[in-house]
């Protein structure tokens, strides 16, 4: 019951954020991040209506994927992916949010025969502790992806710094949104780049106001 109540509150806030920014709730995909929680809790989220699930580690992903096989959910891999582990997720995962280097693109390309939807992870805030390529490297990176025909860049992803300072958060989200626009202007066939994966428990409303299409919520939903 608690997840359903949390979801109701989150949906209400999503609606408000959409109103504030003249957007449609239909354009927002809520990814339930279940990395901290059990199968039971994840099941509660699915029963509450969540259809997109996110995991950041291979073990957690495989455990839940295996358990919920046959359930109509879309699986998002949101954590750092080691190249040698690509083969263990590539046939299960629907979307990868953490493409951050060419060696990973190469491995993904090699291990699959179909197009894999990816977000490029961008380290907008340039924090040392964060993964992702730097904003100025995004276009050159995409140019180099041409060799890898199975990679499809559907959008950009970032993690904002851990702060309550709305000005800082907005700056980060705005930068990612403008980068996405730059990529779209290039009309790359391999990178339609229509989506923005940004916003977590503490900042998803600001992220929506700045254009997020995919928000990734753990703590406030199931935590």
Ligand X SMILES: *Cc1c(COP(=O)(O)O)cnc(C)c1O
Rule CB under 6 A: which residues touch ligand X?
33, 35, 56, 78-79, 159, 200-202, 216-219, 223
Pick 212 or 217: Cβ nearer ligand X? 217
Q: How far is the CB of 196 from ligand X (least distance, A)?
A: 13
> Which DSSP letter does residue 145 get?
G
- CB burial string 162-179: b at 16+ within 10 A, e below: eeeeeeebbebbebbbeb
Q: How far is the CB of 198 from ligand X (least distance, A)?
A: 9
| CA neighbours closer than 13 Å in the CB half-sphere of residue 106 | 7
Pick 34 or 109: Cβ nearer ligand X? 34
Q: How far is the CB of 110 from ligand X (least distance, A)?
A: 25
Pick 171 or 201: Cβ nearer ligand X? 201
**3-state SS, residue 94:** coil
Q: How far is the CB of 143 from ligand X (least distance, A)?
A: 26
Pick 112 or 202: Cβ nearer ligand X? 202
Q: Which residues contact 204 (CB under 8 A, 6 or more apart)?
A: 10, 13, 14, 17, 212, 215, 217
117 - beta bridge partners?
95, 152
Residue nearest to ligand X (CB): 218
Q: How far is the CB of 157 from ligand X (least distance, A)?
A: 8
Give the angle subtended at the CA of 125 by the CAs of 85 and 211, to the nearest 5°: 90
Pick 176 or 190: Cβ nearer ligand X? 176
């Amino acid at each position: 019951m608690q997840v359903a109540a949390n979801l109701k509150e989150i949906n209400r806030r999503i609606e408000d954020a959409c109103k504030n920014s003249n957007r449609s709730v239909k354009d927002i995909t809520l990814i339930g991040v279940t990395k901290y929680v059990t199968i039971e809790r994840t099941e509660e989220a699915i029963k509450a209506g969540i259809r997109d699930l996110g995991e950041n580690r291979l073990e957690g992903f495989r455990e839940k994927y295996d358990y919920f096989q046959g359930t109509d959910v879309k699986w998002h891999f949101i954590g750092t992916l080691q190249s040698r582990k690509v083969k263990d997720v590539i046939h299960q995962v629907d979307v990868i949010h953490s493409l951050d280097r060419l060696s990973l693109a190469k491995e993904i390309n090699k291990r699959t025969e179909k197009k894999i939807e990816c977000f490029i992870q961008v380290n907008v805030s340039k924090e040392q502790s964060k993964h992702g390529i730097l904003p100025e490297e995004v276009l050159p990176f995409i140019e180099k992806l041409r060799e890898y025909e199975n990679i499809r860049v559907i959008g950009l992803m970032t993690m904002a710094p851990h702060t309550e300072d709305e000005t800082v958060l907005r700056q980060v989200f705005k930068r990612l949104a403008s980068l996405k626009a730059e990529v779209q202007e290039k009309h790359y066939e391999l990178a339609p780049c229509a989506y923005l994966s940004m916003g977590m428990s503490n900042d998803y409303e600001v992220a929506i106001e700045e254009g997020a299409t995919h928000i990734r919520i753990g703590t406030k939903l199931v935590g």
